[in-house]
Structure formats: structure tokens, C-alpha cells
């Protein structure tokens, strides 16, 4: 389908402010009378606070107030992380906050707080907690997760642990279990069966902007300037933490300096300035330091598990059996462990699958969703195993991926959902052609001195869209289109690309469109979180339904004023006019004025019943200002929206130093119709860069004896620099429309990271003659050990290791 705007590059409206320094992030706001606060963080991994005395701190000159757990609204869900706690469950958990005229005074005052802890048992390694009588991370239990897994106690038997001696994953009673297909028959008839025990590292999100927030109260409303990926979705949770109604929260998040999943939903610490400000009657700025980010800034979940695969002689996976534990942190975490089976299912569509798993609570800082949570860890484990299977079966490594690629009949997860579209096979073929697979694979394992060439392939998936949110657009008497978006701005420009769908439907020039966003006072609709690779899909749907509603109203107004039926009218060139006589019509500006005169549904005084309360609030704010298009995107999409990326890589591995150099990287994604080619390529490439760090350099370390973190600086868990990436990278999209989206687009943000990471690990394994590490990150010392046939320093089940 030919579009005027969709599929074309454009300059997103917020880029200029980013290159001039005018873009305002949370720490860039100033208000008269603003003071600072600092946090008292727990120094031990699990304890009850027996006594806390803040009197000496409060008596200090310049100290304005203290916030304690007793000041907070109690939370009903014990798995929900609190703002402050009197039972700290990890080192670095906030216990109290002090406000002062400046940070030095606040910091000095923290030193004056007298605190007495009663230490409690703690646990870092998930398996340790499952032993009979093993330590529990919480006094109430040792297992739980936000995926409807209630806080509970689970221990395995001594016999369950017998396999640990052999370095193999024990498999006791799971907290979650599902299966599909005939597993036993699949394994019984398999030509090749492989079973591996694996551990994936946790790595910090490393958002460049720490999660700073500033807040003050005005006219009974709490104004919060925060750092979040999302906009409208933040308001509800933030209101809950503040103990007020959502209508009493003013939330500003025009820019977000990186989130990668860690700022998708409201996080407890962002409520501190608002709560403190209420208490002391002054605006409060809370700056979070880089070191504190390692406690408060989230990280990817560490997984511990096993995967058993049975292959038919042609390479088709007949049976897959996954057991997966996750170090959940002490609160609800994210269901990464469940998503391991999802990525296997989507990329390799096994004929039979069983999944078992346990989210084990640990006294490590709360982990959460990070770009491809679960899917990307598992891709890193899976791809080198697929390479080994290809070698064992005498198959080409691309061929084994093609024969297992998903089709229309592939079903995912416990619910066995179909996918709305899955063009991974196309992506593999396109990337292979661009990479020149047939010739380049001949370079695999060629050695020059200490340097060995490695060739790798990696694929990853994620869900790629939601539905059920609201769209809101306005045409004002100035004739311009105002597209209200509450999704957020995490830096991918998808808020802008999806706004262009409304412009496309209403046949606007892009120059005549204004995107309204970034501040809840601007009357923003109920929109999705900006996360989960969903924005492009979800927001294109909401903007589509709102624009269609506006088109219908334009035609209705024309018919009312100029006679005939709405269907007699057509739109173009910012006019609504008769099909039979284009001279008879109204300009959009005139129609907007008529909408104001007619009022009611035309101008937002009345709206659809099924839209969210937040959208109704927004409608109330703009009623009577122009022609309003508003609707809920309620159509069921008939399956899971899935998005894929596959990456092909060539590296040179120095087997004496363990260092690698990436020579070339090609990646192709299946994200449906490409709506913004330049951004699509940037996301694929930059996601891979993040993946290179996950694969080889980034990991969180915790000392099992004391629960201490081993990394509180960037250099200690290093994200890739510009010198770690190939000199140039190539990326594009399959560009086949998804049938369930009005313009055929799907989201795409997460799989590029998993593709980059797993392709790199596939190439490292290739350079080492097919050695499978079953662990991330793969560090230089592990490579040197493998190249020399030495044992690794970490056991197969060790977690949070250096």
C-alpha cells in the first residue's frame, strides 16, 4: 500500500532539543525554594530494624525533615517493592530519607541516624534457598513473582539435589509447569539428544540518566518531574505510592535518559520527593548517584537451569524440556524465567515442549524487565547449542535454523497462542544473503597466529504489541492536527512515528501536525507503557482509531451543514468535501469551529463510554476547543503479536588473550511494515551493541558470604564503548505487513539485543571449535581456559560470579 508518510524518514520533533542541550531531564528542573534529599540505605542484606533514632539528625542546622517507613501508605501486596522499608531485604535498600538545604548537610545528617539491625538469614543463590531448611530471602517465604505466583515457601528434597555433585541442574518440585505435545515420544525417536545445565548473568540496566526525581505541591496537587520511559501509565502507580488520587498527580516526563525496561512502570523511589515535599512544605530534588543505581536502578534477572533438546535427523526439534530458576530479588521481579520457553517456541517451534520453573526470592537488589527479559538470556544459551546440534547431525547451521523457523501453525507458551505473523524465516534468508553466508561460512575457524575467525548466527523474539488503549486527536480552528500521546519518550522516536498514522489517515502534511505529550497537564489519553516492544504496534492502533473517529465526525459535520449523508463526503488537502463536487465543503479549520458550536460528541463534551477514566479526564480538559477524535482500540487481535530479529556476525577471536574483535554485523528484523526506516536500522544496530555487552562484559557480582555487591561503578561491569562495536553495521527490516495492525507494523525494540548477544556467543563458540560455555557473560579468562582445555573457575551452577 502506498503511503505519504508511513515508511518515510523524517526528523522527530524532539531531536533538536537533544543536540542543543535544551531537552530537560528530571535533574534539569529548578524551582524556587528547592532543597535536596538523600537516602539512608541498608548496609546488610536482610534484617529487621529494631530501633531507629533520627533525633540527632533532625537537630542539625540545615536539616529540614526526615521520611521514614511509618510515613508511608501501607501496600497490600507483600511482593510490591515499598518506597522505604523497616525490613531491608538487600544491601542498598532505602530505609529513610533526609531533606536538607543541600546534599552535604543531608549526607552528614544521615551519618547521625542511629540504627540497630536484627540480622536475618539471607540468600544470594536461588538453589541454596530450595535445599531442605535452606535460607529464605523473606520471613514470609522464598518463592514468588508478579506472574500470579504468590509469596510461598518451597523446598526440595535431599534426593532432588543429588545431581549437583555432577554439576548438573537439580529438578525438584516446580512452582510453574506446563507442557504441549508428546515429549516422551519426541525424545524416544530423536536422532540426537542434548542436555545442558546453564547460568545466565545478571547485568545492570545502566541507564545513562540516573533515576532522579523532583517534586512539589501546588493547589493540592503533587507535581512530579521524573525519569520514565512511559507517561500516562506512570500516573496510576505513582498516585498509589503517594497515597493520592491519579487526578491529583501532575506528571512531567518529556525526556528520559534511558530506561531499557527499568523505567517502564512507576518505581517506588520516585515517590520520595513528593512524600518529602508534602512533609516539609518545600520543593524537593532527589538525585540518585551512579553507585546507588546499582541498588535502585534494576538489573536483568539471573537464570539458572537446564535445557534438553531432542532432534530428528533432519534437524527438526522434536522435543524440548526446560527447567529454569530465576534469582528473583526480594520483590515481584519480572517473569524472565517463563520467557525462556517463549523464545525457544517462537524461534524454533519445537513439536513438543515442557517448561518447569521456580522464581526464587533472593536478597539481591530488585531485578526487573530488561530489553528482552528472559528471551534474550535464553537466546544466548540456545544458539551455541543449536550450532553443536547442526555439527552432530551434519547439517548447515543456517539450515537447522530454517527447518525450525516458526510458521503460521506455531503455538506459544502455556496458553498455546498463535502468532499474528512470524517472518523469521524471511529474516534469516535476507540476512544470510546480505552476509553472503555460503561463502563466508568457509572462513569459520581459520587461524592466523593466535587469531581465529568465528562466524555466528543469533535470533531472538519478543511480543510486539498490545491492544485495548485509547487514542485522542484534535483539529483546532487553526486547521492543525494535535495528536495527544500518553505513551512516553524513551528515545526510540516511536511516539512520533506512530503519531504520523493519525496524520496519514486524515491526509495531513506532517508540518501541520503537533504532537502533544510529556506532561499530564496537556490532557493525555490512557496509553500503554512504552516498553515490551509494543509502541509501534499499540500506538499505531490507537492513533488509527482516533483519526478514523475524527474522519467520521468531519463527514458528519459536513453533511449536517451542507446536506446529504456523511458517506457523500471525502477528505483531502485539509478539507472535507462532496465526492460529486469538490467545491462544496469545509476546511478542517471551519469544521473544527463548527464542532465547537455543535458541542457534544463533536468537541469532546461527550465521549465513548468504554474509554479509560484517564482519557475521560483528558477529554474534560480539551472539551470545546475543537473537533475531537477519540476512541478505544478494542478489537481483539486474534493471537500473540511477535517480533523477531536475526543477526549474522564475523569475529576474530584471540585465543591467547581471550579478546574478540567484531569484523562485521548484519541483522534483519521482522517487525511488520517498516514505518520509519532510519530508526528501525538504528534500533537493530544499537540493540546489538547492548547485546555485545551482555554477552561478554557486563555482570552483577554478589559476595555469597556477606551479600555485598562487587560492582558499583561502570568500569566494574562495563557497557560497550564506541571501540567495542564494528566500524560499521548493516540492518534492515523484512517489511512484510502484520495482518492484525491497520498499517501492518509491529514493535521491535528488544530482539535486536538478543540477536546481537547470541550471534556473538555463537561466533565465539565457533572460533573455539564448537565449545559450548552454557553461561553468560563469556569473559576472556573463560575463553583462554576453553582454548587450553582447562577447567573453568566457576562451577556450572554458580551464580553472580566474576
Q: Could you tell me which stretch among 42-50, 251-259, 451-459, 568-576 binds another protein (CB under 8 A)?
A: 251-259
The answer to whether 741 and 672 have CB atoms below 8 angstroms apart is: yes
Residue 62 or 608: the one with the smaller Cβ distance to another protein is 62
Beta bridge partners of 529: none
Query: For the CA atoms of 783, 785, 789, 795, what is the dihedral angle to 10 degrees?
Result: -100
Q: State the nearest-atom distance from the C-beta of 778 to another protein, in Å.
A: 12
Query: For the CA atoms of 430, 436, 437, 438, what is the dihedral angle to 10 degrees?
Result: 120
Residue 206 or 555: the one with the smaller Cβ distance to another protein is 206
CA distance 591 to 589: 5
Residue 62 or 69: the one with the smaller Cβ distance to another protein is 62
Widest Cα–Cα separation across the chain = 86
Q: Are strands 470-475 and 451-463 parallel, antiparallel or unpaired?
A: unpaired
Q: State the nearest-atom distance from the C-beta of 691 to another protein, in Å.
A: 9
Site for another protein in 295-354 (CB under 8 A): none
Q: Could you tell me which stretch among 284-292, 338-346, 551-559, 609-617 binds another protein (CB under 8 A)?
A: 284-292
Q: Could you tell me which stretch among 132-140, 238-246, 656-664, 703-711 binds another protein (CB under 8 A)?
A: 656-664
Site for another protein in 259-278 (CB under 8 A): 259-260
Which among 210, 152, 158, 193 is positioned nearest to 176, based on CA atoms?
152
Site for another protein in 703-732 (CB under 8 A): 713-715, 718-725, 727-729
Site for another protein in 94-133 (CB under 8 A): 101-105, 107
Q: State the nearest-atom distance from the C-beta of 412 to another protein, in Å.
A: 28
19: contact with another protein by CB under 8 A: yes
CA distance 283 to 100: 11
Which among 725, 650, 651 is positioned nearest to 685, based on CA atoms?
725
Cell of 325: 530458576
Residue 79 or 288: the one with the smaller Cβ distance to another protein is 288
Q: State the nearest-atom distance from the C-beta of 533 to another protein, in Å.
A: 15
Q: Which of 46, 89, 138, 206 binds another protein (CB under 8 A)?
A: 206
209: contact with another protein by CB under 8 A: yes
Residue 9 or 581: the one with the smaller Cβ distance to another protein is 9
Q: State the nearest-atom distance from the C-beta of 645 to another protein, in Å.
A: 14
686: contact with another protein by CB under 8 A: yes
Q: State the nearest-atom distance from the C-beta of 723 to another protein, in Å.
A: 5
286: contact with another protein by CB under 8 A: no
Q: State the nearest-atom distance from the C-beta of 493 to another protein, in Å.
A: 8
511: contact with another protein by CB under 8 A: no
Q: In angstroms, what CA-CA distances link 130 with 161, 175, 531, 590? A: 9, 12, 33, 70
Site for another protein in 48-67 (CB under 8 A): 61-62
Site for another protein in 437-496 (CB under 8 A): 490-493
325 phi, psi to nearest 5 deg: -100, 155
Which among 600, 604, 622, 453 is positioned nearest to 523, based on CA atoms?
622
Which among 304, 96, 208, 343 is positioned nearest to 690, based on CA atoms?
208
Residues that contact another protein, how many (by CB under 8 A)? 80
Map residues 22-41 to x or -, x wherever contact with another protein holds by CB under 8 A. Answer: xxxx-xx-x-xxxxx-x---
Neighbour-count burial of 133, counting CB atoms closer than 10 A to its CB (0-12 exposed, 13-18 middle, 19+ buried): exposed
Residue 104 or 153: the one with the smaller Cβ distance to another protein is 104
Cell of 615: 482519557
Q: Where are the beta strands (DSSP E) in 699-772?
A: 730-733
Site for another protein in 754-793 (CB under 8 A): 780
Site for another protein in 359-398 (CB under 8 A): none
The answer to whether 187 and 353 have CB atoms below 8 angstroms apart is: no
Query: For the CA atoms of 145, 149, 152, 155, what is the dihedral angle to 10 degrees?
Result: -90
Kind and range of the H or E run holding 296: helix 290-296
Q: Which of 210, 266, 329, 672 binds another protein (CB under 8 A)?
A: 210
Site for another protein in 544-603 (CB under 8 A): none
290: contact with another protein by CB under 8 A: yes
Residue 362 or 762: the one with the smaller Cβ distance to another protein is 762
257: contact with another protein by CB under 8 A: yes
The answer to whether 142 and 118 have CB atoms below 8 angstroms apart is: no
State the DSSP code for 162: G
436: contact with another protein by CB under 8 A: no
280: contact with another protein by CB under 8 A: no
Q: Where are the beta strands (DSSP E) in 258-337?
A: 284-286, 302-311, 317-327
CB atoms inside a 10 Å sphere around CB 409: 8
Amino acid at each position: 500500500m502506498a503511503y505519504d508518510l508511513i515508511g518515510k524518514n523524517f526528523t522527530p520533533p524532539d531531536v533538536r532539543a537533544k543536540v542543543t542541550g535544551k531537552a530537560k531531564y528530571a535533574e534539569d528542573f529548578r524551582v524556587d525554594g528547592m532543597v535536596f534529599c538523600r537516602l539512608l540505605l541498608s548496609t546488610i542484606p536482610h534484617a529487621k530494624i529494631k530501633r531507629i533514632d533520627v533525633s540527632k539528625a533532625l537537630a542539625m542546622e540545615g536539616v529540614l525533615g526526615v521520611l521514614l517507613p511509618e510515613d508511608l501508605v501501607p501496600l497490600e501486596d507483600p511482593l510490591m517493592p515499598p518506597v522505604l522499608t523497616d525490613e531491608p531485604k538487600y544491601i542498598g535498600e532505602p530505609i529513610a530519607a533526609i531533606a536538607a538545604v543541600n546534599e552535604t548537610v543531608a549526607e552528614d545528617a544521615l551519618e547521625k541516624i542511629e540504627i540497630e539491625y536484627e540480622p536475618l538469614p539471607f540468600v544470594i543463590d536461588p538453589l541454596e534457598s530450595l535445599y531442605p531448611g535452606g535460607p529464605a530471602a523473606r520471613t514470609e517465604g522464598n518463592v514468588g513473582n508478579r506472574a500470579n505466583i504468590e509469596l510461598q515457601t518451597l523446598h526440595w528434597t535431599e534426593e532432588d539435589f543429588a545431581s549437583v555433585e555432577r554439576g548438573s541442574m537439580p529438578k525438584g518440585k516446580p512452582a510453574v509447569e506446563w507442557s504441549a505435545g508428546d515429549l516422551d515420544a519426541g525424545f524416544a525417536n530423536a536422532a540426537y539428544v542434548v542436555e545442558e545445565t546453564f547460568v545466565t548473568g545478571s547485568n545492570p540496566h545502566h541507564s545513562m540518566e540516573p533515576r532522579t526525581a523532583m517534586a512539589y505541591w501546588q493547589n493540592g496537587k503533587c507535581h512530579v518531574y521524573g525519569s520514565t520511559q512511559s507517561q500516562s501509565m506512570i500516573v496510576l502507580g505513582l498516585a498509589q505510592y503517594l497515597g493520592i488520587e491519579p487526578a491529583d498527580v501532575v506528571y512531567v516526563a518529556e525526556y528520559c535518559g534511558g530506561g531499557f525496561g527499568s523505567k517502564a512502570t512507576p518505581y517506588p523511589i520516585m515517590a520520595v520527593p513528593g512524600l518529602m515535599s508534602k512533609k516539609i512544605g518545600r520543593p524537593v530534588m532527589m538525585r540518585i548517584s551512579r553507585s546507588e543505581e546499582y541498588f535502585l536502578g534494576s538489573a536483568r534477572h539471573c537464570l539458572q537451569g537446564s535445557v534438553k533438546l531432542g532432534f530428528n535427523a533432519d534437524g527438526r526439534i522434536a522435543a524440548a524440556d526446560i527447567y529454569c530458576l530465576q534469582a528473583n530479588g526480594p520483590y515481584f521481579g519480572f517473569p524472565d524465567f517463563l520467557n525462556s520457553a517463549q523464545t525457544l517456541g517462537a524461534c524454533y517451534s519445537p513439536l513438543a515442549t515442557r517448561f518447569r520453573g521456580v522464581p526464587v526470592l533472593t536478597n539481591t537488589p530488585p531485578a526487573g524487565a530488561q530489553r528482552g527479559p528472559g528471551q534474550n538470556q535464553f537466546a544466548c544459551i540456545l544458539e551455541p547449542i543449536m550450532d553443536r546440534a547442526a555439527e552432530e547431525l551434519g547439517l548447515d547451521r543456517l539450515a537447522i535454523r530454517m527447518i525450525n523457523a516458526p510458521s503460521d501453525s506455531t503455538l506459544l507458551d502455556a496458553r498455546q497462542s498463535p502468532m499474528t505473523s512470524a517472518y523469521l524465516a524471511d529474516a534469516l534468508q535476507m540476512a544470510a544473503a546480505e552476509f553472503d553466508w555460503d561463502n563466508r561460512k568457509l572462513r569459520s575457524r581459520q587461524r592466523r597466529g593466535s587469531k581465529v575467525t568465528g562466524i555466528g548466527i543469533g535470533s531472538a523474539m519478543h511480543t510486539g504489541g498490545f491492544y485495548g488503549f485509547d487514542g485522542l486527536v484534535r483539529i483546532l480552528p487553526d486547521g492543525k492536527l494535535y495528536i495527544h500521546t500518553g505513551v512516553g519518550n524513551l528515545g526510540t522516536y516511536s511516539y512520533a512515528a506512530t503519531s504520523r498514522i493519525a496524520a496519514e489517515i486524515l491526509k495531513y502534511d506532517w508540518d501541520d501536525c503537533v504532537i502533544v505529550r510529556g506532561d499530564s497537564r496537556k490532557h493525555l489519553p490512557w496509553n500503554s507503557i512504552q516498553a515490551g516492544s509494543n509502541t509501534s504496534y499499540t500506538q499505531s492502533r490507537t492513533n488509527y482509531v482516533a483519526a478514523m473517529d475524527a474522519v467520521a465526525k468531519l463527514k458528519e459535520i459536513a453533511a449536517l451543514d451542507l446536506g446529504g449523508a456523511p458517506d457523500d463526503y471525502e477528505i483531502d488537502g485539509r478539507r472535507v468535501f462532496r465526492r460529486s463536487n469538490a467545491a462544496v465543503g469545509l476546511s478542517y479549520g471551519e469544521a473544527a469551529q463548527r464542532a465547537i458550536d455543535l458541542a457534544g460528541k463533536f468537541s469532546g463534551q461527550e465521549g465513548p463510554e468504554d474509554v479509560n477514566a484517564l482519557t475521560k479526564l483528558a477529554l474534560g480538559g480539551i472539551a470545546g476547543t475543537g473537533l475531537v477524535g477519540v476512541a478505544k482500540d478494542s478489537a481483539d487481535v486474534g493471537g500473540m503479536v511477535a517480533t523477531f530479529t536475526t543477526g549474522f556476525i564475523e569475529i576474530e577471536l584471540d585465543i591467547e588473550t581471550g579478546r574478540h574483535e567484531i569484523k562485521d554485523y548484519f541483522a534483519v528484523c521482522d517487525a511488520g511494515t517498516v514505518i520509519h526506516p532510519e530508526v528501525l536500522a538504528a534500533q537493530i544496530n544499537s540493540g546489538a551493541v547492548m547485546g555485545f555487552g551482555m554477552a561478554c562484559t557486563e555482570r552483577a557480582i554478589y559476595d555469597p558470604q556477606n551479600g555485598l555487591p562487587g560492582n558499583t561503578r561502570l568500569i566494574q561491569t562495563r557497557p560497550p564503548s564506541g571501540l567495542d562495536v564494528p566500524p560499521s553495521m548493516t540492518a534492515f527490516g523484512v517489511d512484510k505487513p502484520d495482518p492484525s495492525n491497520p498499517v501492518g507494523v509491529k514493535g521491535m525494540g528488544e530482539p535486536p539485543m538478543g540477536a546481537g548477544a547470541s550471534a556473538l556467543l555463537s561466533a565465539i563458540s565457533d572460533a573455539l571449535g564448537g565449545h559450548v560455555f552454557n553461561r553468560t557473560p563469556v569473559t576472556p579468562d573463560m575463553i583462554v581456559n576453553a582454548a587450553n582445555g582447562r577447567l573453568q573457575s566457576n562451577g556450572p551452577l554458580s551464580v553472580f560470579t566474576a
